[in-house]
């Protein structure tokens, strides 16, 4: 096969070609390795998707072609620990850190035949919606290099969109897989909380963090997820799957009821995004779906609750970065001085802001007013979804309120940046699965369509996403470099 033919294959198609013996050993890995390496070598002239690219096919990946994932190489967000490979969650404070172990999800995927191709750029500790808060500098959107790829899994989304990686892993705490998938025109899934082990993910907010796939299409997404899910003794919140993840094949939506929550699909959404969303609902109707109005009355408060809960958990999780056991140390006159200087120099601006916010919300005198209340709002949001799912099968919304914005446009205003998560945070707080698929263009830039279902509905989510994808006929090839 020619390089162009190989590049045109989805990951699932490549795995199938590999199983039929149509690919030479390591052929796909070498092709993508060269492309990823070229982006890295191009520096400012590239997309800056990667923080590290493999020199060679990883040892032990020799038989990967015969494994279920066919040797199709995988790009992995920097915050997944990978043995002997730099893993610093986009932060200066973990400079030089080479983990002694590999994250559960990455190990499972490598065993299933998806060897590690590269580590991808991200917002520091996954805090951000633009991949501009990175010690490695910003990643760029392949659709328009003056714009951000979204975040925090922006490097993974941009790499898949640009054809620099066949598929990628990201993590989603409040939208960090779905929003960059939307802004880059790829598919991104946040699984049910607990579906995938968090072992080896450098933690941001542990009650919300979930690993998930970023892929070219819905089938690739299902194929990758199928080999990630499962209970892991190293993560007590991970769960036994209720059913095996299957590859979707649905082409219509007969009998499917979609609910559109007015709270997340009207006010605050850019006109072009809303127009594309409404046209997508029309496609859904043509495929046989019923579209109903539903209400999630507490959803408008989700962002407020999230920006208490996530920073609170982060302030606790990030206490471990103190210059004692790994990463950066800045000398001080005594122990406390060493801690505070190390953290001052090692953390970027947004991370400091969130640590301060979380520490404040947990501090004596404020705990009940902020953290306690936010936890109660979370209960109400989960209740809202439960009630809505008694009336409809899925909730659908635009994934992000806008298309990709310009670099630097929102860095000076934290609240404007946080509003990117408006449509994705409610599902995160409720722990339910949600997928973003590209549904069209507005101003020449991709728009994402978000579909959320009840806990453990991933298989049904893939089926409806697959049917919609066929009808949207989104052409992602134009973003490939």
Q: Is 369 in the site for other proteins (CB under 8 A)?
A: yes
Residues between 140 and 199 that touch other proteins (CB under 8 A): 192-194
Residues between 56 and 95 that touch other proteins (CB under 8 A): none
Minimum CB–partner distance for residue 193 and other proteins (Å): 5
3-state secondary structure of 46: coil
Cα 38 to Cα 53: distance, rounded to the nearest angstrom: 10
Minimum CB–partner distance for residue 461 and other proteins (Å): 16
Measure CA of the first residue to CA of the last residue in the chain; give whole Å.
19
Active site residues: 77, 152, 176
Cα 246 to Cα 236: distance, rounded to the nearest angstrom: 25
Q: Is 320 in the site for other proteins (CB under 8 A)?
A: no
Cα 189 to Cα 407: distance, rounded to the nearest angstrom: 25
Q: Is 4 in the site for other proteins (CB under 8 A)?
A: no
Cα 53 to Cα 37: distance, rounded to the nearest angstrom: 6
The smaller minimum CB distance to other proteins, of residues 126 and 289, is found at 126
Q: Give the x-and-dash track for 223-242 against other proteins (CB under 8 A).
A: ----------x--xx-x---
Q: Is 410 in the site for other proteins (CB under 8 A)?
A: no
Instruction: List strand residue ranges (DSSP E) for 365-476, in order.
Output: 394-398, 434-442, 445-452
Query: How far does CA 395 lie from the centroid of its chain?
Result: 19
From 106-114, 246-254, 276-284, 315-323, give the range in contact with other proteins by CB under 8 A.
315-323
Cα 433 to Cα 205: distance, rounded to the nearest angstrom: 17
Exactly one of 8, 304, 409, 471 binds other proteins (CB under 8 A); that residue is: 304
Q: Is 45 in the site for other proteins (CB under 8 A)?
A: no
The smaller minimum CB distance to other proteins, of residues 37 and 360, is found at 360
CA atoms within a 13 Å half-sphere pointing along the CA-CB vector of 117:
34
Exactly one of 455, 465, 467, 479 binds other proteins (CB under 8 A); that residue is: 455
**Residue in this structure with the two tokens 């122990």, named with its chain if needed:** 335
Q: Is 375 in the site for other proteins (CB under 8 A)?
A: yes
Q: What value does the CA radius of gyration of the chain take, rounded to a whole number of Å?
A: 21
Cβ pair 140, 164 in contact under 8 A: no
Q: Is 207 in the site for other proteins (CB under 8 A)?
A: yes
Query: What is the side-by-side strand order in the sheet with 116-120?
Result: 50-53, 116-120, 74-77, 167-172, 210-215, 187-190, 434-442, 445-452, 394-398, 257-261, 290-294
Minimum CB–partner distance for residue 232 and other proteins (Å): 11
Q: How many chain residues touch other proteins (CB under 8 A)?
A: 70
Q: Is 430 in the site for other proteins (CB under 8 A)?
A: yes
* Contact set with other proteins (CB under 8 A): 97-98, 100-101, 192-194, 207, 233, 236-237, 239, 298, 301, 303-305, 307-308, 315, 319, 322-329, 331-341, 343-344, 347, 352-353, 355-357, 359-360, 363, 369-370, 372-380, 382, 414-415, 418, 429-431, 455
């Amino acid at each position: 096969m020619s390089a162009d033919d190989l590049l045109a294959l989805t990951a699932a198609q490549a795995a199938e070609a590999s199983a039929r013996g149509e690919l030479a050993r390591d052929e796909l890995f070498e092709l993508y390795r060269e492309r990823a390496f070229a982006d890295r070598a191009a520096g400012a002239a590239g997309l800056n998707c990667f923080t590290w690219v493999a020199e060679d096919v990883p040892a032990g990946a020799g038989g990967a072609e015969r494994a279920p994932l066919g040797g199709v190489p995988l790009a992995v967000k920097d915050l997944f620990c990978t043995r002997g490979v730099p893993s610093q969650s986009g932060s200066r404070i973990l400079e030089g850190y080479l983990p002694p172990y590999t994250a559960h999800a990455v190990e499972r995927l490598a065993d299933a035949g998806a060897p590690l191709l590269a580590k991808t750029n991200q917002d520091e500790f996954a805090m951000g919606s633009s991949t501009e808060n990175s010690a490695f500098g910003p990643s760029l959107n392949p659709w328009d290099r003056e714009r951000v790829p979204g975040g925090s899994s922006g490097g993974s989304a941009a790499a898949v969109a640009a054809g620099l990686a066949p598929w990628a892993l990201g993590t989603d705490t409040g939208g960090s897989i779905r929003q960059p998938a939307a802004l880059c025109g790829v598919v991104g899934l946040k699984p049910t909380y607990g579906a995938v082990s968090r072992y080896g993910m450098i933690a941001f907010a542990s009650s919300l963090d979930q690993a998930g796939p970023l892929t070219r299409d819905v089938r690739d997404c299902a194929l990758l997820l199928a080999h990630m899910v499962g209970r892991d003794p190293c993560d007590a919140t991970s769960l036994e799957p209720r059913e095996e993840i299957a590859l979707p094949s649905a082409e219509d939506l007969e009998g499917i009821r979609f609910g559109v929550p007015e709270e997340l699909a009207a006010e605050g959404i850019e006109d072009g995004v809303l127009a594309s969303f409404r046209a997508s609902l029309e496609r859904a109707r043509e495929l046989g779906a019923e579209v109903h109005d539903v209400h999630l009355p507490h959803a408008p408060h989700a962002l407020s609750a999230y920006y208490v809960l996530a920073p609170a958990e982060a302030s606790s999780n990030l206490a471990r970065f103190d210059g004692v056991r790994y990463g950066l140390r800045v000398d001080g006159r005594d122990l406390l001085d060493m801690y505070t200087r190390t953290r001052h120099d090692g953390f970027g601006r947004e991370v400091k802001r969130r640590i301060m916010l979380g520490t404040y919300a947990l501090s004596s005198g404020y705990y009940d007013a902020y953290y306690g209340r936010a936890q109660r709002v979370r209960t109400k949001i989960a209740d809202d979804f439960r009630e809505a799912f008694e009336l409809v099968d899925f909730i659908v919304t635009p994934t992000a309120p806008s298309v990709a914005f310009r670099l630097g446009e929102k860095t000076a205003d934290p609240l404007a940046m946080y509003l990117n998560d408006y449509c994705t945070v409610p599902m995160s707080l409720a722990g339910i699965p949600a997928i973003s698929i590209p549904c069209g263009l507005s101003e020449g830039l991709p728009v994402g369509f978000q579909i959320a279902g009840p806990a453990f509905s991933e298989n049904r989510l893939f089926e409806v996403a697959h049917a919609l994808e066929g009808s949207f006929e989104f052409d992602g090839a134009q973003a490939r470099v």
